[in-house]
């Protein structure tokens, strides 16, 4: 029988993402579970391993609910102090907090700077000719939502594969992740796979090199689109948008490039 959630009063969500594992997240989790078991608190608490919770710079981390308390730099000692404080005194341990409800800013010694603003730069590209180009994000937190959005505007999108073959999205039948790293676009007579997910160095080299590592948004009077390349600069796919479809380009500017005020051109 699984945990009786009707008896659970406090839940501890331990991050099990890559950065937290590298920082030794298993040890504080084991210490937390051992303490809860031995203190006879197992039935009214719950510990959960999560995927990455987005605070890699503060690894290892965990979240305590209720209260939305985010903790950083866990070890085998402070994790027990945190548990005791929440259960015995119903209050957080401020010295180890990243954030809690009501705070106006986070408390992190290793906060990463915000992503730089994107700007379009005019350039002569060997494949695209004279265009304005801006570098986008390559995480599948961006590339996958982009493809999902384009599925709702299929009649205005086409894709050119590395071999030069161009396919219209209007005939695209299906699109989904087919494994941990790859998404498949499926037409009636052909398929095309593109690697969006983060590929660890333990995977084969050819899989690593198939990962989208460069995302360039471009436009001119005649064309608009986005081009994917790998980290070696090899062309993986180019998506072309019909210039008259402003909805797609507005989405690219606002959601993908965070240009809420429209196209921004870099000063020479």
Q: Domains plus CATH for the chain?
A: 5-99 (3.40.30.10), 121-256 (3.40.1570)
How far is 169 from 173, CA to CA, in rounded Å?
Answer: 8
- Residue 1's pLDDT is 61
- Residue 253's pLDDT is 93
What is the value of pTM for the model shown? 0.74
Reply yes or no on whether the pLDDT at 193 is more than 80. yes
Q: Which of 115-119, 180-184, 185-189, 218-222 has the lowest average pLDDT?
A: 115-119
Residues 264/252, Cβ–Cβ less than 8 Å: no
What are the tens digits of pLDDT across the range 77-113? 999 999 999 999 999 999 999 999 999 999 998 777 6
Confidence of residue 2 (pLDDT cuts 50, 70, 90): confident
Reply yes or no on whether the pLDDT at 116 is more than 90. no
Tokens of 148: 């999902």
Q: Which of 65, 50, 63 is nearest to 19 (CA)?
A: 50
Q: What is the mean pLDDT of residues 34-50?
A: 96
State the Cα angle at 246 between 123 and 188, rounded to 5°: 95
What are the tens digits of pLDDT across the range 212-263? 999 999 999 999 999 999 999 999 999 999 988 899 999 999 999 988 666 6
Q: What is the mean pLDDT of residues 15-31?
A: 93
Q: What is the mean pLDDT of residues 16-23?
A: 90
More confident residue, 179 or 8: 8
- Residue 113's pLDDT is 63
What are the tens digits of pLDDT across the range 158-178? 999 998 999 999 999 989 888
Q: Which residues of 32-63 are buried (b: 16+ CB within 10 A; e: fewer)?
A: bbebbeeeebeeebbbeeeebbebbebbbbbb
Confidence of residue 129 (pLDDT cuts 50, 70, 90): very high
């Amino acid at each position: 029988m699984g945990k009786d959630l009707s008896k659970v009063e406090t839940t501890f969500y331990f991050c099990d993402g890559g950065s937290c594992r590298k920082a030794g997240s298993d040890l504080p989790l084991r210490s937390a579970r051992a303490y809860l078991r031995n203190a006879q608190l197992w039935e009214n608490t719950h510990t959960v391993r999560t995927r990455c919770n987005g605070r890699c710079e503060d690894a290892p981390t965990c979240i305590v609910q209720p209260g939305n308390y985010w903790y950083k730099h866990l070890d085998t000692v402070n994790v027990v102090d945190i548990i005791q404080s929440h259960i015995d005194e119903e209050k957080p341990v401020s010295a180890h907090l990243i954030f809690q409800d009501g705070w106006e800013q986070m408390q992190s010694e290793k906060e990463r700077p915000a992503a730089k603003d994107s700007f379009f730069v005019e350039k002569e590209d060997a494949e695209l000719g004279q265009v304005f180009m801006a570098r986008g994000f390559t995480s599948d937190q961006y590339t996958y939502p982009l493809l999902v959005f384009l599925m709702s505007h299929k009649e205005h999108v086409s894709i050119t594969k590395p071999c030069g073959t161009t396919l219209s999205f209007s005939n695209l039948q299906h699109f989904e992740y087919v494994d941990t790293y790859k998404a498949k676009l499926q037409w009636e007579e052909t398929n095309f796979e593109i690697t969006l997910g983060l590929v660890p160095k333990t995977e084969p080299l050819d899989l690593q090199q198939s990962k989208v590592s460069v995302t360039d948004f471009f436009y001119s009077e005649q064309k608009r689109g986005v081009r994917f390349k790998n980290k070696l600069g090899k062309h993986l796919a180019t998506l072309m948008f019909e210039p008259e479809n402003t909805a797609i380009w507005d989405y690219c500017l606002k959601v993908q490039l965070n240009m809420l005020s429209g196209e921004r051109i870099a000063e020479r």
